Amino acid sequence: MNQTFQSPIKTSIPARERLIFALDVPDLEHARRLVETLGDSVEFYKLGLEFFLSGYYFELASELRDNGKKIFADLKLFDIPATVASAVRQLARHKVDFCTVHGNDSMLRAAAEAKGDMQILAVTALTSLDQGDLDDLGFRCDARTLVLSRARRALELGCDGVVSSGLEVPALRASVDHALITVCPGIRPIFNDEVPAADDQQRVATPARAIETGADYLVVGRPIRDADDPRAAAEAIQQQIASALP
């Protein structure tokens, strides 16, 4: 019997929403300036721990929402299940689209049960970790095996997706239900044929490669934030994403 080929690329996601800009800045003024500069080149923003500590997290989240933007609360919740569930309920009140949880099965289950309309992403293995780091943390397997194991469990527990390196996406699409949302940080675009500068990310992928192999969303921070022209950098990445879509 012939099997119908299932493309790894979800066509239901608006192309320009696939780029998530990591708004990793320390203060509200800097954040607002970047949002204004980027304009319609970015439709989805990630708000992480650095900006959370600015004291203006939900003020900016409200402004973004009022301007039609989507919000990824990347707070990597990790605590006892009851506390995780309470935090997820609080976030859901702010109409956040995505929230990350970085914990064990009971934490992930608690988050999934409390999520409301928000979507829960399980963190698999941080893209800053290489095999030596995983060994130091006590994981007796490679990154691919760890990511696949955590992704399967996350989906079974009621989570909507995972955060993983683009390098692991082909294996995820080959062996985990396609309903799983894949959000990939560690994306390093190539501008003008230049090799991306080295930084603390270890397991990286280009935008086109990640999309072609099934990534749903790409998280990009420094290549946009630190560019001479952030808007032009964002638009260049949007073009690389669009070129990889069917």
How does DSSP assign 106-157, residue by residue? HHHHHHHHH-TTSEEEEE-S-TT--HHHHHHTT--S-HHHHHHHHHHHHHHT
- Parallel/antiparallel/unpaired status of strands 181-184 and 44-47: unpaired
In a domain, residue 28? The reply is: yes
**Residue-level pLDDT at 125:** 59
Annotated catalytic residue: which of 10, 46, 70, 76?
A: 76
In a domain, residue 216? The reply is: yes
Mean pLDDT across 131-138: 52
In a domain, residue 176? The reply is: yes
CATH code for the domain of 73? 3.20.20.70
In a domain, residue 3? The reply is: no
Q: How far apart are CA 191 and CA 174, in angstroms?
A: 30
In a domain, residue 230? The reply is: yes
What is the residue whose two structure tokens read 């980027």? 38
- β-bridge mates for residue 187, sequence order: 205
- 76 tagged catalytic: yes
How many domains is the chain built from?
Answer: 1
| 138 pLDDT more than 80 | no
Give me the domain span that covers residue 38: 15-240
**Residue-level pLDDT at 241:** 96
In a domain, residue 5? The reply is: no
Q: What is the pLDDT of residues 23-55, one digit of tens each?
A: 999 999 999 999 999 999 999 999 999 999 999
Helix or strand run (H / E) with residue 222 = helix 222-225
Q: What is the pLDDT of residues 49-96, one digit of tens each?
A: 999 999 999 999 999 999 999 999 999 999 999 999 999 999 999 999
